[in-house]
Structure 1
Amino acid sequence: MLRNLQSHSINRIILALRLSFLLFLFSSMLSIHGSPTRAHIFIYAGCSQEKFQPGSPFEGNLNSFFSSVVSSSSQVTYNSFAIGNGSSSPDGTIFGLYQCRGDLQPRECSQCVESSVNQIGLVCPYAYGASLQLEGCHLRYEHNDFLGKPDLGLRFRKCSRAVNNDVEFFRRRDDVLSDLQAANGFRVSNSGLVEGYAQCLGDLSAADCSSCLADAVGKLKNLCGSAAAAHVFLGQCYARYWESGYYDEPADSSNNDEAGKTVAIIAGVLGGLAVLVVLLSMCRKSAGK
């Protein structure tokens, strides 16, 4: 009888370890591969130092903002919001926006934005202001009104390995960047083996978009020099180019998919706790017998 109980306990331990391994494998896959589609790849995030209190008017309005963003993204690729503005609780005021890359379909846009909403709370918990850039979409909210105000601040840049002594490549790259600089909204360009695309926020005028992209292109050349692939994100626009057949993620930055890592850590911790609970339960039962 004792031998049967011991055998049963061993089988339960093996089952628990297998479940733990599956959870670990799942978390590792999230950490390595990130989301299933490229549009969900993490680019950068920024968080305010000031935090709001759980249950505050700001948290309620923030949840309303997130709900509105997800709902709107299935209809349009860009929208901005002002929630609680002029209310009796000014501490709860939220200004925010989202934007999807111009070549995404509505369903892809909505999925990307929903992923941003799910991740921004992990990356910037209880932050009064935050921004999150994924490969296919951008999400930002602030306590103060930033909508429509000029913002050419550098948010993020990545540069790949350098291309040396390739006059043709640089000529093609400059052709692409010159074309992208004239974009109004979203534009894709290519010249020979060089491709690229650029985008401005949806509420920028043609002149403001051109000015923003001129600054982005200038930073691409100054900060990334002879890189074979590079991208620069400013406050209201971004520009990217790469050599066809090459497209590696630029290699000089340590910024990886931090949101994916966060989810992986959470999954790993939950898996460890689940195993611990099972083992403790078995130990108690064995001690009782």
Structure 2
Amino acid sequence: MGWLPIRPFCLFSLFLVFFPILELIPLAKSASDYTNLVYKGCAKQDLSDPTGVYSQAISALFGTLIAQSSKAKFFKTSSGSGQTNISGLFQCRGDLSNVDCYNCVSQLPILIDKLCGKPVAARIQLQGCYMLYEVEGFPQISGLEMLYKTCSGKNAGGAGFEERRDTALNSLENGMGSGNGFYTTNYESVYVLGQCEGDVGTSDCGKCVQNAVQRAQVECGSSISGQIYLDKCFISYSYYPNGAPKRSSSSSFSSPETSTGSGQTTGKTVAIIVGGAAGVGFLVICLLFARNLMKKHDNF
């Protein structure tokens, strides 16, 4: 039985080989990006709150919004009364599940406090959701005012790219007229998405999206991806010459230039395959080594 002392060593070595593989397998699933920060909007004026009444109202408001996010994609409410009244809302992207919506929204109060502190108004936009609040009397802005834009990847779409993009954006405008407030489509590898705030009527939604489309065409030019955020709506477009990555409720069309999910998944899959092959090979070596030892044992 001279081969028995070697067996634990082989099993332990195999454990060391396969343990990193078990760690890699969950990571091979593409990471959700709906909680990535897009932009923050913090009023310059801080709350004067010596008695803590505003803080209590804000906490109550956040609690209500988070609770509603598990069963709705949009909710608007207020907290406090009189001059201490604070209104607020959240909205999740239309293709997020209730679970993802809740997970997204529940992070927003923490980010508001971390990134803005306690101003009289604040808005935090993530890839999959946003939240805002404002104290009674805070100046209102136009629903068509641009809050944020991003454009990337110049002149990479080849000849006729802008025409293809414009056709996709026109399809988006038409689709938003359905009255659902959320729409996504594609045309010749150009993928577009749009959404209006939940309480915006169909007509105003169409005007907002039309305005955002025009801004995208002017502001982003020949960029292969762009996002335009207005106060009451937002749109995005991305060009994927090799086809867009598979989407789930917890993913979004991000810039092909900055997106690394596909490459990471491929790399981890290769690591799993190579690691698995190495583990199998090591197992074969252990068995052959044990077999040789058994033969030597029989010869004595």
Describe how 1:1-289 pairs up with structure 2 within 5 A.
Answer: 37-52=32-47, 53=49, 55-84=51-80, 87=81, 90-144=82-136, 150-163=142-155, 166-182=158-174, 183=176, 184=179, 185-244=181-240, 245=242, 247-248=254-255
Letter in 1 for 2:226: A
- How many equivalent pairs are there? 212
> Where is the helix percentage greater, Structure 1 or Structure 2?
1
- Check the 8 A contact 1:95/1:146 in 2, yes or no: no
Q: Pick which of 202-211 and 54-63 moved more.
A: 54-63
After TM superposition, the runs of 4+ consecutive aligned structure 1 residues lying more than 4 A away are: 145-150
- Check the 8 A contact 1:196/1:241 in 2, yes or no: yes
TM-score normalised to structure 2 length: 0.66
- Check the 8 A contact 2:34/2:104 in 1, yes or no: yes
Q: How far is 1:37 from its partner?
A: 2.5
Q: Relative to 1, partners in 2 of residues 1:107 and 1:128: Cα closer, same or farther, differing over 3 Å?
A: same
- In the alignment, structure 2 segments of 5+ residues that lack a partner are 1-30, 245-253, 259-300
- Check the 8 A contact 2:157/2:239 in 1, yes or no: no
Q: Relative to 1, partners in 2 of residues 1:75 and 1:55: Cα closer, same or farther, differing over 3 Å?
A: farther
Compute the RMSD of aligned alpha carbons.
2.2
Q: How far is 1:126 from its partner?
A: 1.2
TM-score normalised to structure 1 length: 0.68
- Check the 8 A contact 1:44/1:156 in 2, yes or no: yes
